[in-house]
Amino acid sequence: MKFDITNPGAFSTLLVNLESGEAIKAESGAMITMSETLDVDSKMERGLLGGLSRKLLTGESLFFQTVTAARGPGQVMMASAYPGEIAVLELDGSEEYILQKDGFLAAEQSVQVSTKAQNLTKGLFSGEGFFVMRVSGKGKLAISTYGGIQKLTLAPGETRIIDNSHMVAWSANANYKIEKASKGWISSFTSGEGLVCRFHGPGDVYIQTRNSPGFGSWVRQFIPTR
């Protein structure tokens, strides 16, 4: 199975080549076009309870799309609902990733997706809610971002401060805590940053160059009010 990123930039698409009998799962509504040899269906990851937990806890759809090369090899093109880049991660089975709720785009069937509970502080202030997506297993994983995507590789003991609205995916072993952006509460919020995440390596963190809450605030100023 081959994953290629086409139309790179703000409107990236994912092109997947499947051999006969192969299948992938993707976020609901991600398919743009596909070969006539492929079939698309819907499936609950980890059964009914897994699908319900994904819907109720993260706000994501109950179902994944499942695209299967049922009548021979073929291609499928996919994209996320919002403008931004796509990155493909190769999971080797030894490492897990945590994804923000909109970060998952597609993956091989051998990759497992579940929900993970965060502690009270992270749930309230990380911007991701009390539950995030945990990805494990072996195979290719495609993540999508709002804006560009940047990979940060933290060495053991290295610390990096990241605005919580720019987090997309991170290694499960990369610990982080929530803290004020500045020394004082007033300066933290008047600076426009508020709360940030302090990550401690080792581990990888994928960040996005834009954040949707900020874009939403910018758009609202142009919407006429009564």
Domains in the chain (CATH in brackets) are 2-220 (3.60.160.10)
The confidence score (pLDDT) of residue 184 equals 55
226 residues of the chain, pLDDT tens digit each: 999 999 999 999 999 999 999 999 999 899 999 999 999 998 766 544 444 444 444 444 457 899 999 999 999 999 998 899 999 999 999 989 999 878 999 999 999 998 766 544 444 444 444 467 899 999 999 999 999 999 999 999 999 999 888 989 999 988 888 887 656 544 444 444 567 889 999 999 999 998 877 777 778 888 887 7
Using CB atoms within 10 Å of the CB of residue 95, give its burial: 0 to 12 exposed, 13 to 18 middle, 19+ buried: middle
Q: What is the pLDDT of residue 88?
A: 97
As beta bridge partners, residue 18 has: 74
In angstroms, the CA 63 to CA 51 distance is 6
- Predicted model pTM: 0.80
What share of residues in the chain are helix, strand, coil (percent, to 5)?
Answer: 15, 50, 35
What is the per-residue pLDDT for 212?
77
